[in-house]
């Protein structure tokens, strides 16, 4: 009898076979999906619209819980509900990731400038919110590239928004860029006015054809920390170039 029991014990299926491996990968995938949907999502900066705050090649974490959840919090916008649950309106000055309102699928990242009911206008490069001029302090120039990829020293300023949030901007074309003189925009209920810190090189709410006002529902999360940064034009998989291409001074910094 003891021999029979011993033989049966040897025939028990192993938990470490192909099925076990598949189960481990499935569990890891589910955990990653939960973290990405409800907690933090990594995001790569593909354009220079938020220079000097965010540079091309920055990799950052976006907190998904900051503004509550909508269907756009889920991959491919497949959330099972409309509207927003546990919603919280962003603060003026937040840098937020959202789905573009024209196709509801393309990810954008901009700074929140106008909240529902605010008026926003630019006159000769100066920002007015609710008809009040936003304070702007000159800073040393910022080295960047012009529209043709040539290195330039762009004018840089520190703006102080009405709620006291300070952030830097640059003006590649000075105060005479394409969107440095605009009509007065009145942000409708349930919408936000978003702008880039690179004022002369940002497709944002100032362009009603390409973006316009952003629905509150389209928010995905708030930009929090830069966890990796690699020079513009470098490839992240070329690890043998990392000692020269990684921007170590930008890693593990908070975003304001």
Residue 218 — φ and ψ, nearest 5°? -80, -10
Q: What is the DSSP string of 176-235?
A: -STTSS-PPEEPPTTEEEEE-SBTTS--STT-TTTT-SEEGGGEEEEEEEEEEEB-TT--
Q: Looking at the annotation, which residues are catalytic? A: 49, 110
**Residue 77 dihedral angles phi and psi, to the nearest 5°:** 65, 30
Confirm if 216 and 45 have CB atoms less than 8 A apart.
Answer: no
Q: In whole angstroms, what separates CA 104 from the centre of its chain?
A: 15
Q: Which residues contact 68 (CB under 8 A, 6 or more apart)?
A: 84, 85, 86, 87, 88
């Amino acid at each position: 009898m003891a021999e029979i029991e011993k033989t049966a014990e040897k025939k028990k299926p192993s938990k470490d076979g192909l099925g076990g491996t598949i189960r481990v990968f499935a569990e890891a995938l589910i955990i990653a999906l939960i973290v990405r949907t409800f907690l933090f999502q990594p995001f790569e900066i593909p354009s220079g619209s938020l220079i000097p705050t965010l540079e091309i090649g920055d990799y950052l974490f976006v907190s998904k819980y900051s503004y509550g959840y909508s269907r756009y919090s889920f991959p491919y916008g497949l959330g099972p509900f409309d509207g927003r649950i546990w919603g919280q309106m962003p603060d003026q000055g937040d840098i937020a990731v959202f789905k573009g309102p024209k196709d509801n699928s393309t990810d954008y990242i901009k700074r929140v400038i106008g909240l529902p009911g605010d008026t926003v206008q630019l006159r000769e490069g100066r920002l007015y919110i609710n008809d009040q001029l936003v304070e702007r302090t000159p800073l040393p120039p910022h080295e960047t590239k012009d529209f043709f990829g040539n290195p330039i020293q762009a004018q840089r300023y520190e703006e102080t928004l009405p709620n006291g949030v300070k952030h830097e901007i640059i003006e590649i074309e000075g105060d005479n860029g394409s969107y440095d003189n605009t009509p007065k925009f009145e942000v409708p209920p349930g919408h936000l006015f978003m702008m880039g810190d690179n004022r002369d090189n940002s497709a944002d709410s100032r362009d009603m054809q390409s973006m316009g006002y952003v629905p509150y529902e389209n928010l995905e999360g708030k930009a929090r920390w830069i966890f990796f940064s690699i020079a513009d034009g470098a490839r992240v998989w070329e690890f043998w170039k990392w000692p020269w291409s990684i921007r170590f001074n930008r890693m593990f910094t908070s975003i304001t």
